[in-house]
Amino acid sequence: MHRSIEDGLSKTPHVTLLFWIIKIAATTLGKTAGDALSMSLNCGYAASSFVLFGIFLALCVAQIRAERYRPFLYWAVVIATTTVGTTIADFADRSLGWGYLGGVAVLASFLAVVLFVWRRTLGTISVARIVDRKAEGFYWLAILASNMLGTALSDYFADGSGLGYDGAALIFISALAIIVALMLATDMSVTLLFWAAFVLTRPLGAALGDLLTKPLDHGGLDLSRFSSSGVLAALILALVLFGTRSGGSPHADARSSV
């Protein structure tokens, strides 16, 4: 049995402010990198999704087989989920013709099913209890689903509703502020609030990615997808390195579970 399982330590990091900063940066990178492959390099949504899903699977297998929490590997898998989540959601919304609302409905249902089956199988969806391979498999599937859903949400609010990328970003920032207030002022399940925040940080990052790279006449800053991705990757690397040097480690429990 793996030592991490014997010790009862989760293979996920502490959910701190640094965690959320890296998460938002990772989702922004996922948007810019996914668009760079599918649009800038003209690989298309289907081919890009196939390639990126293969990368995600390889990294996910390495993460699940690891005997303990490895921060750089963990965040590499997160970035992979956000990148492939971008191209899969775009493929569903645009190539398959589901539309933004249709994509949101289908992907939200998929995430709900994953969380439901996870809880029915293991009795909890708490991220503080990722201590075996089955739990970790559900964890990464839920993260992948949440990132696909987040991409569709971002596209709907930014493009479908006419709010624009900055308007959409403000909507998601406001929603996240409400979640923080609920966590501080109520006894709501921390686990449910975590997953709500996890879903909403994805469309925030996607909106920020579009804001950086879309043309000026579309409301963006028209920055290069490749240079933006490089800067974001360097930022994430620096933040993860800072976290490891400041004593970041897996957490062993949480205030509440579902």
Report the number of distinct structural domains present in the chain: 1
Whether 104 is in a domain gets the answer yes
The 10s digit of each residue's pLDDT in 12-53 is 898 899 999 999 999 999 999 999 999 999 999 999 999 999
Whether 101 is in a domain gets the answer yes
Whether 251 is in a domain gets the answer no
The 10s digit of each residue's pLDDT in 184-231 is 999 999 999 999 999 999 999 999 999 999 999 888 899 999 999 999
| pLDDT at residue 119 in the model | 94
Q: What proportion of the chain, given as a percentage, has pLDDT over 70?
A: 92
Whether 164 is in a domain gets the answer yes
Whether 149 is in a domain gets the answer yes
Structure-token pair, residue 227:
């240079």
Nearest residue to 29 via CA among 198, 150, 241, 205: 205
Whether 254 is in a domain gets the answer no
Nearest residue to 181 via CA among 171, 193, 191: 193
| pLDDT at residue 175 in the model | 96
| pLDDT at residue 247 in the model | 63
* Cα 165–chain centre separation: 18
Q: Give residue 218's domain range.
A: 7-245
Averaged pLDDT for residues 175-192 = 94
The 10s digit of each residue's pLDDT in 72-127 is 999 999 999 999 999 999 998 888 889 888 989 999 999 999 999 999 999 999 88
Whether 232 is in a domain gets the answer yes
| pLDDT at residue 179 in the model | 96
What is the helix, strand, coil percentage profile of the chain, to 5? Answer: 80, 0, 20
Whether 123 is in a domain gets the answer yes
pLDDT at 130 over 90: no
For residue 164, give Cα distances in angstroms to 25, 95, 159, 211: 20, 22, 6, 9
